[in-house]
Chain A
Amino acid sequence: MEQLPPPQATARLQPLAAARLGAKTLLLTLNLDRIAWQPCNPAVGGPAKSQLVHEVDALGGEIGKIADRCYLQKRVLNASKGPAVWALRAQTDKLEYAATMRRVLEETPNLYIREGMVTSVEVDSNDEVCGVRTFFGITFACKAAVLTTGTFMNGQAAVLTTGTFMNGQIWVGRQSMAAGRAGEAPSTGLTERLVELGFETDRLKTGTPARVDKRTVDFSGLEEQPGDDDVRWFSFDPAVHRPRQQLSCYLTHTTAETHRILRENLHETPVYGGWVDAKGPRYCPSIEDKIVRFADKESHQIFLEPEGRSTPELYVQGFSTGLPERLQLALLHSLPGLESCKMLRPAYAVEYDYLPAHQCYASLETKRVKGLFFSGQLNGTTGYEEAAAQGLVAGLNAARRAAGQEPVVLPRESSYIGTLMDDLVTKDLREPYRMLTSRSEYRLVLRSDNADRRLTPFGRQLGLVDDRRWQLYQDKQERIDAERARLEAIRVQPDHPLAVAAEAVSGQKVPAAASLADLLRRPHVHYPLLQRHGLGAPTLDFSAGSEGVPVGSSSSNGEAAADAAATTAAAPSAGSGGGEQPPAGEQQQAQVLQQGAQPQAAQPLATAEQEAVEIDIKYEGFIRRQAKQLQSVAAKHARRLPDDLDYRSIQTLSMEAREKLSKIRPRDIGQASRIGGVNPADISNLLVYLETRRRTSAAAGDSSAAQQAQRQLSRKAQRKAMVAAAMGEAQVSGSERGSDAEAAAAEEAAEAVAAA
């Protein structure tokens, strides 16, 4: 049963299928050397963002794998809270990260990379995008391929992912220069062209702190923050699960002196001085913002985080500022441990053009120009993860458009990606949007550990998941299901040492013949307890060096493996986008799985899989309730709103609702209900209006309405399938539908570039 496909077929991308689809993709970027550059904190993940990374990975995206391959340190945040909010965060090596991602792009068939600055989007008479034009006068027609900060497909699709570059302006104190980020020229001319096309644009602002030389920092008095011993992974692909040596972060804090300097010089900062009024992200506030907002707080935590193995640069997290450079060093010197540090790069703020995303559908295609997609910071988000998620969606839909297929929208209830898309196109965002755990209503269902169960079948349908990953996925689900069944089946007597131990930790009496699952449902009883008593499954460790060999605990040769991985990462053979999985490893793995297939015996399970099983059992009731909520809300909200609805003519709606609905033009009742200014009474009246309309058109026997209804039905079915998948009930046929994966992946990559 475990016959994995031969190595040739495991290549992530399938040139043949791609060629057949003809989704040739051009990536136009301002600077080839800055692909996947992390201009702010070189870190991936964190609360809510890690869910996005897991989800992008489950759909065949790249960000999780690159983060897993280039990490300097990994930690699980919120470990003391519930499983819905556990978050993996990786500090990455920014040089390695960019190099690795660039290599993936270079090795992706059908993806062409070219340096150039796009200054114009060419639109034909049908309001359809037909090409882009660069600064030096080259027009890349859409029929062939193209972009700067964007990608192009055969057919008519272009994706703009301009990051902070469009009319970028960086500020250090009162000094400013035109730049997309420090040391890089901005992109000019494109905004003007978009405005000409009728788009609404606005300005946003963000900032990055100073970098200091770690050799000049005295770490002796600082609290060390090492990585987790038990390293977790973003990617569901065990091929990238290679432990490496970790670097520590350090914790310092602001002092009274810091606050004094800031307070005395507030007028020197762009925002408080009043010469920049673009909105910055509230969730990533500058240090002066924190001082002003939390005036009663005497000290703020500041993290010192390494930026790479080959650079002495330290990122001073939580310390971004708009102060002039002359004051910045003094400010840094006020922090314990940094008293005599040398500054390598000053902190700066950047101001840029964005396009409020209500101008896009949830597929990220613009409503105004067909075939033009917006993605990333251009849509007003902040963060690499948000950008990657959008890149995936925009790339996927651009490729689908190129292939003449219907767009795909991830429903809000399906995923954090869906939540992100819905928020972006629904809310009137006037400040950078960051993903937060509380933005999702269904977080216990939309966990990190089940992102693949929710999305991989869908990704497979779309052609984003290749055979190898699909096989891995199915094997994993099989293991989890088998383990779950085993835990329900095996019972222990109250005098069994495990039962005694469970009683001790939970403080609850264990009834006679309790199943292992019953024990797991008790508070404070966790899977490792089962393992300690010989009733858990052995741990399956995919990491390099011990691949495929089940071991009782995490491997002890982590350092060697890490070193190996670190060196191979620099060499093109191991970590490239082509055949990532060494054939030998696959064969070994297959053997292990075959062993595990023997009846009754506990199959070896990876740590994350054990945890997933435990969560599913332990919180079953809650999960079921939330899934039910999700289902009922999704059902109610799935009702499509006709595209031709004239909201202004609906007398029963409030004026504000009419205005907002006309502007956003929501796709369904759910989206309409989430628009600010549209209250439930309006929704109720809207439903009544729709009903009246339906009755009228039904009486008139309107055949076009029937057709429309049919089309809506298919979308509804699609949505239903997504919701079902989100609830872990997905049953998806393994039909292979070719691959436009490169488009998505390239896009995602391009996105990471643009975000940078």
Chain B
Amino acid sequence: MPRGDLNALFPEDSSSSDEDEFGERGPSDKDTIVAIVSGAQQGAVSIIRLSGELAVHIAMMVFRPAGTEKLSSKEKADWWPESHRVYYGHAVDLMGDVMDEVLLMAMLKPRSYTAEDVVEIHTHGGGISAQRVLERLMEIGARLARPGEFTMRAFLNGRLDLSQAESVAQLIDARTVAAADSALAGLQGGLGREITAMRQECVDLLVELDARLDFDEDLPPLDVPALVERINQLTQRLEAALATGRQGQLLRTGLQVALVGRPNVGKSSLLNALSGTERAIVTDIAGTTRDIVEAGIVIGGIPITLLDTAGMRESVDLVEQIGVERSLAAAKQADIAVMVVDAEAGWTPADDDIFQQMFGSSSSSSSSSSAAGSDSDSGLGGGWGSGDGGAAASSKRGAAPALLVLNKSDLAAKQRQQQTDGKKAQTGSKKAAGAGRGKKAGKAAAAADATAADTAVAAAAAAAGVPPAAAARFAAVVETSATKRQGMDSLQDAVLQLADAPELARGGVAFAVNERQSEALINAREALQRLQLSIAAELPLDFWSIDLREAVLSLGEYDVRYLSDETALLLGSAVVGAYALQHLMAPHSAYETYWAPSQPYSAATTQYNGLGALSMAATTASVARLPGNRTAKKMLLKVTGASWLVFGLADLYYSRTGVNNNGGISAAINVSLGSYFLFKGFQPVADGKKSG
């Protein structure tokens, strides 16, 4: 879905001009645009943002700064906000009547989110005030911004590159802290560095090969084993980067986990236990849950939607029957199906029916579906799926990876104790089956080992009478006792393992490739695999270069300039000119973006640069509480200063790496401003204007 996100970033079709809405002239990038950017939620404060050439002029027709009532009309007309300074005043309507008490902050170009003049007006929340001010601004001449248009302008004006713009969308859409961290890392360009480095390695290899086409005699013989080793390492790095993609996907879209099983095996209890709520009604009556109950939880930073489904049974009750059908459909579309079995009752024929309905009759499907679970290709390609993509992927995969939960384990254990040792032999054979399955399932097997290493659990699976064919379908078997809240950690771990995101559980997230990027990485990896085949087949050198070039192309626009240092070539030192390719696929994706069909409205409306917000909020707060505690204000300003400093250093980095060619200037401004705030303390409130 990052492809979807990509389009959602700039959802409007550039050729469409909604003339009815925007007057005779179609919307243009020169218009001054306006929108309520604080989102639909009812907060205490609403923020209206204006961006464009006339932003300040338009805002001035609505804003009346406090303390200017006594001034002459000429002085009033001369009043003009300074950049990056917060003003208190009133929003007034056409007749000059006050609509609301507001704060206004102007951020003059180029130091604003869109690199145009930006004015933000903070009104009271609740919707009405903001709406009135917005309407007034539109009357004066601002155009309502289309979804994502602020970020679009930031992109068009070179303020953000595409990856960063994508990261903004991810940041806004982030549902968990881990997801936000990952998006922020993307915004700061960690991913680009890694891809640049890998591409550079490919280019180096290519130079080495190409040099031999023309200057074979002058160069030392090609060290093929070393070359192969470098290619292997490169492949591993590609794999590692690809793995982040899957994690990123998880962080962005989360997982749907469906609990399925017979009535009254404890699915609802399990949902309550996992979510720590009493979301689902639990009774001893079979068939209590008649429709799907959802609960949102977070496991290891991944947002997870738990679906409690109606217990599946033949029922004469029409309502229950519909519930069962819907449950089955929902469970089949979920990313992970958790089949809950009553450990005490063991594997019953009814369980078998459900198993067949859910997972098909063929036991051979186990290997293929397990492979789907552990193969990053299909995982990335299909997506873990929210929305249509995920559903499509699920149906393509056949059935989702599955876990088996033996609930009511406390009761079962009691029962087991009463049994003799006579079944030990059988247990052993089941364990062997489990091991065999582990090999097939790859990483999922690790999950099985981790969670089911305990002999008791394996034994429980066996003891519960789960037939080997069915057991093989499950990536892991977990014993729980929902009522006693036992085994919840094991179940969470098993879900994470199955999602192939054990790293997430530990909370370490650097950056994550999105789908656009992972497609490129996959192409590069495939090219390298073909290259390895060519080398193995002892094809001539110039064939090697074809696939190596493919890898370079996949990792970014191919650059012929590597041959420009011809002396270096001749002398055999494969010195390559400096590459400042922070954002490799940008040319390619710029094409894609602009020629992509328009996408429906998305959540990307309220683009907000996280760091910008932080520093602005700090400034705002400190000024808004002018009569307040000096120390607190100092602290706030220091925070602001630190943020600017970070911005500045980032700009400096970008300018050094060629991402933002104006970075040098903004770096200087940001660093100096930041240092000023940070080290000189309180006075700078008045000096904020320097930032313009």
Interface residues of chain A, those whose CB is within 8 Å of chain B, are 47-48, 80-82, 84-85, 282-283, 293-294, 301, 427, 431, 436-439, 441, 443-444, 523, 619, 622, 625-626, 629, 632-633, 636, 651-655, 657, 669, 673-674, 676, 679-685, 687-688, 691-692, 695-696, 698-699
Contacts and interface: CB of A to CB of B under 8 A. Distances in A.
Contacts of A695: 14, 28-29
A438 B587 contact: no
A696 B30 contact: yes
A441 B540 CA distance: 16
A680 B541 contact: no
A687 B591 contact: yes
A625 B550 contact: yes
A427 B214 CA distance: 20
Contacts of A655: 661
Contacts of B577: 676
Given A438-B563, A679-B580, A698-B15, A626 B662 contact: no
Nearest to A674: B560
Contacts of B353: none
A619 B543 contact: yes
B18 interface: no
Given A282-B566, A652-B661, A688 B213 contact: no
B661 A681 contact: yes
Interface in B148-204: 155-158, 161-162
A681 B28 contact: no
A437 B214 contact: yes
Given A293-B571, A652-B662, A683-B557, 11 more contacts: A82-B541, A82-B543, A523-B538, A629-B550, A652-B157, A669-B587, A673-B559, A676-B564, A680-B586, A684-B162, A691-B156
Given A81-B540, A82-B540, A439-B563, A684 B553 contact: no
Contacts of B157: 652
A596 to B, nearest CB: 33
Contacts of A651: 158, 662
5 contacts: A48-B214, A81-B540, A82-B543, A438-B569, A619-B543
A622 B543 contact: yes
Contacts of B538: 523
Interface of B: 14-15, 17, 25-26, 28-30, 155-158, 161-162, 210-211, 213-214, 217-218, 537-543, 546-547, 549-550, 553, 556-561, 563-564, 566-567, 569-571, 577, 579-584, 586-588, 590-591, 594, 658-659, 661-662
Contacts of A47: 213-214
Contacts of B590: 684, 687-688, 691
Nearest to B28: A699
Contacts of A626: 546
Contacts of A80: 540
A308 to B, nearest CB: 28
B26 A680 contact: no
B549 A629 contact: yes
Contacts of A654: 658, 661
A680 to B, nearest CB: 5
Max chain B CB contacts within 10 Å: which of A301, A431, A633, A681? Answer: A681
A498 B78 CA distance: 96
A381 B30 CA distance: 48
B591 A692 contact: no
Contacts of B658: 654, 679, 681-682
A85 B216 CA distance: 12
Contacts of A294: 218
Q: Give 8 closest A-B pairs by Cβ, nearest first.
A: A652-B158, A82-B540, A684-B586, A438-B210, A654-B661, A82-B542, A699-B28, A436-B214
Given A625-B547, A680-B581, A437 B213 contact: yes
B182 to A, nearest CB: 23
B70 to A, nearest CB: 42
Nearest to A440: B560
A655 B29 CA distance: 25
A329 to B, nearest CB: 28
B539 A82 contact: yes
B240 to A, nearest CB: 23
A382 B162 CA distance: 43
Nearest to A683: B587
B139 to A, nearest CB: 22
A684 B587 contact: yes
A619 to B, nearest CB: 7
Nearest to A48: B214
A284 to B, nearest CB: 11
B200 to A, nearest CB: 12
A177 to B, nearest CB: 31
* Among B540, B546, B581, B588: residue with most chain A CB under 10 A: B546
Nearest to A628: B550
A85 B542 contact: yes
A655 B157 CA distance: 16
Given A439-B563, A696-B28, A636 B542 contact: no
Nearest to B562: A438
A366 to B, nearest CB: 24
Contact of B26 (A283, A427, A692, A699): A699
A301 B564 CA distance: 27
Nearest to B161: A684
B558 A633 contact: yes
Given A679-B579, A681-B658, A696-B28, A673 B557 contact: yes
A695 B149 CA distance: 14
Contact of A444 (B542, B553, B557, B558): B542
B549 A676 contact: no
A673 B553 CA distance: 14
Nearest to A635: B591
Contacts of B26: 699
A670 to B, nearest CB: 9
Nearest to B578: A679
Contact of B567 (A48, A282, A653, A696): A282
A691 B594 contact: yes
Given A293-B571, A684-B586, A699 B213 contact: no
Contacts of B659: 681
Contacts of A438: 210-211, 213-214, 563, 569
A48 B210 CA distance: 13
Nearest to B565: A676
B549 A441 contact: yes
B546 A687 contact: no
Contacts of B560: 441, 674
Contact of B591 (A84, A636, A674): A636
